[in-house]
Amino acid sequence: MPTESEGLQIKTCTSQSHKAVSAEVLLDVEKARPVLEQIANKWSILILTVLCSRPSRFNEIMRRLEGITHKALSDALKRLERNGLIRREVLTKTTPVGVEYTITSLGRSLQQPFEALYAWSMKYGPEIERAQKQYDKVQD
């Protein structure tokens, strides 16, 4: 993430001030978007969370991620491997030959932000549910 010295300027929007976002911030968003699209989807976060605890085989990951399809898991694992976040290792000493996925140090660098996001979701999940119910009640 760019530091302030690298030019990232995030301006807070208050009810009193609705200034236009600077072009510089928009450029930063354009740089960040492709990266965030790769790591911030539901399955990528969950797969990396599973692999943070220990290396796992495909079927083990699938069992731990209820609701994921074979294709969705396969596609996500390929994307994560391509992005350098996980490593795929063929286990030739097993019968049949197996494949194990391990998180890389780059992938592990996401552990702290993911843990913070998880903690936030646990803390504010009930508030979001209340807001959704209130919204739905007004919409009906």
* CATH number of domain containing 64: 1.10.10.10
Token pair in block for residue 133:
């119910």
Q: Is 19 in the same domain as 58?
A: no
**Is pLDDT above 90 for 130?**
yes
Counting the structural domains of the chain, the total is 3
The range of the structural domain enclosing residue 70 comes to 41-109
Give the pLDDT of residue 26: 63
Per DSSP, 7 falls in state: T
- Do the Cβ atoms of 99 and 86 come closer than 8 Å? no
* Confidence check: pLDDT of 134 > 90: yes
75 and 35 housed in the same domain: no
Residue 102: phi, psi to the nearest 5?
Answer: -130, 140
Query: 62-121, pLDDT tens digit by residue?
Result: 999 999 999 999 999 999 999 999 999 999 988 888 899 999 999 999 999 988 988 999
Burial of 81 (0-12, 13-18, 19+ CB in 10 A): middle
Q: Are residues 3 and 14 in the same domain?
A: yes
pTM: 0.71
Give the tokens for residue 9.
């300027």
Which pLDDT value is given to residue 114? 87
Both 59 and 27 in one domain: the answer is no
pLDDT at 96: 86
Distance between CA atoms of 80 and 90, rounded to whole angstroms?
16
Residues 50 and 98 in one domain: yes
